[in-house]
Amino acid sequence: MVTPPLPPPPDEPAATPPGVQIVLLRPRWASNLGSVARAMKNFGLARLTIVDSRIGSWADAWRMAVQARDVLETARQGVTLDEALADATWVVGTTNEPPPGTRVLTPREVAHEVGRHQRAALLFGGEIDGLAPAELLRCHAVAVIPTAPSQSSLNLAQAVCVFAAELFAARMATVPPPAGGPPLATAALLQHLERHLRTLLAGSAWADADRGKHAIAELLQPLWRAQLTDDEARAWLVALSKAAQR
């Protein structure tokens, strides 16, 4: 039994919510469509628009959209590319062959900049020909995934996954720490800890060895990465003070 595509939205759909929209232009294979939906769900994206689909049966799309059927169910269809991008304030076309004169970004650069735009759209071309130069020239920027020269072309779903992962990581990096937890050590406190460690080690056999000029900082780096609480950093200070008294 052939599974028909989802019906188009009403003639006058409600305005789509702010956020990043994934736009697929001329997709050909249902399995890729389902994998795109899964990648979007993995990384918290929900706005999918399909323009000029070349897909017949959606059976493989539903099969591949593991725990992401809702992304397919709410996908916007039946619109032209101009209509799909109409409310976007920032459009980024994806390619491995950027036209001369375009602003070229990496997926990570896109992820860091996208937060400054209320409505952003990432445009992906079909599996065979990608986006045409004319389509890329109508984007605010062009994004290229760094790849090995021997194989620069990614599968459509893989490409969406790379961008989605970078967008998710960027969002997580800007999320404030949960309220109510113990206060973290300040940079000043960790710098004070470094000075105590430097003083302690200056008179030890450790300092007699040939150390690099950043040896102390390298010792402290794991503590910076660990994001010590204020209490934990002060416990280190007490320990170093006691060690210096021997």
Domain ranges of the chain: 19-173, 187-244
3-state secondary structure the chain: CCCCCCCCCCCCCCCCCCEEEEEEECCCCHHHHHHHHHHHHHCCCCEEEEECCCCCCCHHHHHHCCCCHHHHHCCECCCCHHHHCCCCCEEEEECCCCCCCCCEECHHHHHHHHCCCCEEEEEECECCCECCHHHHCCCCEEECCCCCCCCCCCCHHHHHHHHHHHHHHHHHHCCCCCCCCCCECCHHHHHHHHHHHHHHHHCCHHHHCCCCCCHHHHHHHHHHHHCCEHHHHHHHHHHHHHHHCC
Which residues, including other chains, have CB under 8 Å from residue 79's CB and lie 6 or more apart? 8, 9, 49, 51
What is the pTM (predicted TM-score) of this model? Answer: 0.67
Strands of the sheet containing 104-105, edge to edge, are 47-51, 19-25, 119-124, 90-94, 141-143, 104-105
Per-residue pLDDT reduced to its tens digit, 202-217: 878 887 777 776 777 7
Question: What pLDDT sits at residue 7?
Answer: 40
Look up the CATH architecture of domain 19-173: 3-Layer(aba) Sandwich (3.40)
Which pLDDT tens digits describe the chain residue by residue (246 residues)? 344 444 443 343 333 345 799 999 999 999 999 999 999 999 999 999 999 999 999 999 999 999 999 999 999 999 999 889 888 888 899 999 998 888 899 999 999 999 887 789 999 999 999 999 888 888 888 999 999 989 988 999 999 999 999 999 998 886 554 556 788 776 567 678 878 888 888 878 887 777 776 777 777 667 766 767 889 889 988 888 888 776
What integer pLDDT is reported at residue 157 of this predicted model? Answer: 96
pLDDT for 105 equals: 95
